[in-house]
Structure 1
């Protein structure tokens, strides 16, 4: 995930996701990812779950909602940077929300790692 800049999630958070997927395996519970960016965290969870365990990934694949009055100045500044076209993605790549067909990019990322997406 790191080499391909597919996740904004920190390493400790990724390890925690893997642990939760593995620990809850006996339940067979549905795994839900809400907001997948480039798909990295969800792809990693796919690698840890059994093929029989269902997983659903949801995303708008478009601009983030604006910050509210409850968000801090840092979030407001980051949103302005993203909205203004100034944000840079991981590894200096294009910021993921500037991708004109983000859903296709994410779908391709899943397929490249051996997890084809079913609509």
Structure 2
């Protein structure tokens, strides 16, 4: 269901936190293919941003797992021309403690990024 909705988007995955030997959390950035990002003079057009943290109670799922992202989120991003940003994070208890997971989420919001 959601996977088929995402076919109209271009996707880039960007690591937002370096954790050494561990899997580094990344953010999926999706832009609808039909959305114009520059005008005729190649000026960048400001676009709204929709940030979605996947469900799973911090213990299961991934950022764009069809079971974890509601259809309305994808539809809202598509209808509004918003850039959809969906960060991943370490899951409890397989790779982190709850505090580690919350640190990942805080690091995502830190525009300086790269926290360790």
Does TM-score exceed 0.5, indicating one fold? Answer: no
Query: Could you say which structure has the greater relative contact order, defined with CA pairs below 8 angstroms and 6 or more residues apart?
Result: 2
More strand per residue = 2
TM-score between the two structures when normalised by the length of structure 1: 0.28
